[in-house]
Amino acid sequence: MPDNAPAAGDASQEAGRALFFVDDAPGTVQVAGPSIGVVVRMVLTLALVAAAVYGIVFLLKKTSRRTIEKDPFLKILATAHLGSNRYAHIVSVGSKAWLLGSSDGGVNLIGEVDDKDVLNAMLLEDSKKTAEASTGRFSDFSSILRRFGVSTERNVTDAGNIRKHRERLKGL
């Protein structure tokens, strides 16, 4: 066997060294390059983080929509879709109401609503919808807790209960 030929044990060491670089510092070994599994895992992790950020932003936008300041005098009482971007609206200002038609071409006055009973019923329905819409969103922290099923009722204490608690605390 020639002197410069590697021994059997040395051959396995040579094969192992083919995959690794030996750094100049003794005892440090680095991998020659990233494997496909590491790259796939990194891409999936980044996609998961991006989806989580998108979901959080979507939920924040949905739960904290700013209410548009509505003009208290100008109200759209009813809207009916007539097809292909054509609508009929009943719009009121104060105690008067008009039937308007809108389309891509513009807005046209169709007529005035003269029946006071119909107008009052529409105003009442609009005020009910406005009241429901204002309580439907998260108005405070307790309403958020109620949506998750946490009880937020406070015990109303009267003077008798306060006295009982005071006496109990004095005994401590």
Residue 52 is predicted with a pLDDT of: 95
CA distances to 126, 152, 153, 160 from 156, in Å: 35, 12, 9, 11
Q: Which two tokens stand for residue 167?
A: 């006496």
Residue 65 is predicted with a pLDDT of: 62
Instruction: Quick: pLDDT tens for 136-152.
Output: 555 566 666 666 766 65
Structural domain boundaries of the chain? 8-55, 74-137
Do 86 and 94 contact (CB within 8 A), yes or no?
no
Residue 27 is predicted with a pLDDT of: 58
Q: Is 99 exposed, middle or buried (0-12, 13-18, 19+ CB in 10 A)?
A: middle
Comparing 61 with 52, the larger pLDDT belongs to 52
Q: Which of 64, 114, 105 has its CA nearest to residue 87?
A: 105
Comparing 21 with 80, the larger pLDDT belongs to 80
Quick one: pLDDT band at residue 98, thresholds 50, 70, 90?
very high
Mean pLDDT of the chain: 75
Q: Judge whether residue 43 has pLDDT over 80.
A: yes
Q: Judge whether residue 18 has pLDDT over 80.
A: no
CA max distance for the chain: 116
Mean local confidence (pLDDT), 77-99:
90
Quick one: pLDDT band at residue 171, thresholds 50, 70, 90?
confident
Name the pTM for this structure: 0.41
Give the C-alpha separation, 123 to 129, whole Å: 10
